[in-house]
């Protein structure tokens, strides 16, 4: 009999899942209640969706997810206060369409962070305060985003301070992807160290975990977890999925050679990869305080559209029919 993912892992860490409003209704809602004890809103708490105009917030979808979490006794991770993607256009420009000054942008970020953090104070226990501020380019430190262009690196420290002011008890995270890449990992380590040295209130680092059947290796995964726990902070895996495709971060087009079929060979590779990943996670249970999957089942994954449009992926533990895949049984068998 299937006890549900969260029960098998009850002595290890909370099991989380990224959800959209549709997922908390119907069949997926049942799957979520049985298997997960933590949730992250996939999109609806990002600044664009939740704060479409300077004087207008759209709380409806975010409230529904917060209510579902409360009603079912689940933890809720907030995602994400400051991110260069899915941010509203108004954030960077004044009423004449001119780019705002650093002071104005920081004041807007402060107001946004204060409103959103305050509203969900009673239910959210951890926030991704800043998401993906480090560059993928080995020759560049910070990502050259609008935020960075207007504020320089200062927006990062200020964002953590504003969040702390709004809620003294919530855990504050820096979250990023491709942290298995040693060059990017070291930049993140250095930035977080700098924040700690400057007395900025940061509690944790989020390892997104958008991986594949080809990476990371066991050695790289261990090195990544060790490096961040060496900061003396909380470490969480915030957006886990194991794609069947090689990661090609610059490719945006579907090629005729792309094959959407989940072959037996790929199924086997995925089982081995998930088996290794969860073995390492379990061995690090004192260091990892949460593991969250990015989406519920292969019925829908953001990877069906990213980085390549209309290419079906099969990155999760539950299948297109919302039933446990063979890989699920490997992950819960230890
Ligand atoms: C993704 C969502 O899953 C998609 O629905 C959306 O179109 C784009 O964003 N890193 C993050 C997440 O921190 O917020 C992203 O979520 C996936 C990559």
From first to last of its 334 residues, what are the pLDDT tens digits of the chain?
999 999 999 999 999 999 999 999 999 999 999 999 999 999 999 999 999 999 999 999 999 999 999 999 999 999 999 999 999 999 999 999 999 999 999 999 999 999 999 999 999 999 999 999 999 999 999 999 999 999 999 999 999 999 999 999 999 999 999 999 999 999 999 999 999 999 999 999 999 999 999 999 999 999 999 999 999 999 999 999 999 999 887 889 999 888 899 999 999 999 999 999 999 999 999 999 999 999 999 999 999 999 999 999 999 999 999 999 999 999 999 9
CA 310 to chain centre: 22
- Nearest-CA residue for ligand 1 atom 5 is 302
- Output the CA 198–ligand 1 centroid distance in Å: 30
Distance in angstroms (rounded) separating the CA atoms of residues 234 and 213: 26
Q: Is 239 a catalytic residue?
A: yes
Shortest-distance atom of ligand 1 to CA 83? 13
Distance in angstroms (rounded) separating the CA atoms of residues 129 and 138: 24
Pocket test for ligand 1, best of 21, 45, 294, 296 (most atoms within 8 A of CB): 294
Shortest-distance atom of ligand 1 to CA 79? 14
- Output the CA 302–ligand 1 centroid distance in Å: 7
- CB 224 less than 6 A from any atom of ligand 1: no
Distance in angstroms (rounded) separating the CA atoms of residues 160 and 167: 11
Do residues 274 and 221 touch, judged by C-beta distance below 8 A? no
pTM of this prediction? 0.98
Q: Give me the residue label for tokens 């209704």.
A: 25
- Nearest-CA residue for ligand 1 atom 13 is 131
The Cα-based distances of 137 to 140, 183, 304 in angstroms read: 5, 9, 25
- CB 42 less than 6 A from any atom of ligand 1: yes
Question: Is ipTM strictly over 0.90?
Answer: yes
- Output the CA 298–ligand 1 centroid distance in Å: 16
Tell me which of 239, 253, 272, 283 is the catalytic residue.
239
Q: Which two tokens stand for residue 318?
A: 């539950």
Shortest-distance atom of ligand 1 to CA 177? 10
- CB 208 less than 6 A from any atom of ligand 1: yes
- CB 238 less than 6 A from any atom of ligand 1: no
Q: Which two tokens stand for residue 199?
A: 């007395």
Shortest-distance atom of ligand 1 to CA 305? 7
Pocket test for ligand 1, best of 128, 133, 300, 302 (most atoms within 8 A of CB): 302
Distance in angstroms (rounded) separating the CA atoms of residues 117 and 128: 11
- Output the CA 85–ligand 1 centroid distance in Å: 9
pLDDT per residue over 21-30, tens digit each?
999 999 999 9
- CB 43 less than 6 A from any atom of ligand 1: yes
pLDDT per residue over 129-144, tens digit each?
999 999 999 999 999 9
Which secondary-structure segment (H or E) carries 196? Answer: helix 182-197
Distance in angstroms (rounded) separating the CA atoms of residues 6 and 189: 30
Distance in angstroms (rounded) separating the CA atoms of residues 206 and 83: 14
Q: Nearest 5°: CA angle at 294, between 31 and 23?
A: 40
């Amino acid at each position: 009999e299937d006890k549900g993912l969260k029960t098998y892992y009850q002595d290890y860490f909370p099991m989380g899942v990224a959800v959209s409003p549709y997922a908390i209704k119907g069949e997926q809602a049942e799957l979520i209640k049985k298997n997960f004890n933590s949730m992250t809103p996939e999109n609806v708490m990002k600044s664009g969706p939740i704060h479409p105009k300077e004087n207008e917030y759209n709380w409806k979808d975010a409230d529904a997810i917060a209510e579902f979490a409360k009603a079912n006794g689940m933890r809720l991770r907030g995602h994400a206060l400051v991110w260069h993607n899915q941010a509203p256009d108004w954030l960077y420009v004044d009423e004449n369409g001119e780019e705002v000054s650093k002071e104005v942008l920081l004041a807007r970020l402060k107001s946004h962070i204060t409103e959103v953090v305050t509203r969900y104070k009673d239910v959210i226990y951890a926030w991704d305060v800043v998401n993906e501020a480090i560059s993928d380019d080995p020759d560049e430190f910070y990502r050259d985003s609008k935020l960075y262009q207007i504020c320089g690196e200062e927006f990062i420290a200020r964002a953590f301070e504003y969040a702390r002011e709004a809620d003294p008890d919530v855990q504050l995270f820096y979250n990023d992807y491709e942290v298995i890449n040693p060059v990017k990992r070291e930049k993140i380590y250095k930035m977080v160290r700098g924040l700690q040295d400057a007395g900025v209130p940061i509690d944790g680092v989020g390892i997104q975990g958008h991986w594949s059947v080809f990476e990371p290796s066991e050695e790289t995964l261990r090195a990544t977890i060790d490096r961040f726990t060496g900061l003396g902070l909380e470490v969480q895996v915030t957006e886990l999925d194991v794609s069947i495709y090689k990661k090609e971060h610059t490719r945006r087009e579907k090629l005729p050679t792309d094959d959407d079929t989940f072959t037996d060979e790929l199924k086997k590779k995925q089982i081995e990869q998930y088996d290794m990943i969860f073995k390492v996670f379990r061995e690090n249970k004192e260091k990892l305080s949460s593991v969250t999957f990015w989406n519920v089942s292969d019925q829908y994954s953001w990877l069906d559209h990213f980085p390549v449009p209309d290419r079906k992926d099969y990155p999760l533990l539950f299948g297109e029919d919302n039933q446990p895949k063979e890989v699920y049984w490997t992950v819960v068998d230890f």
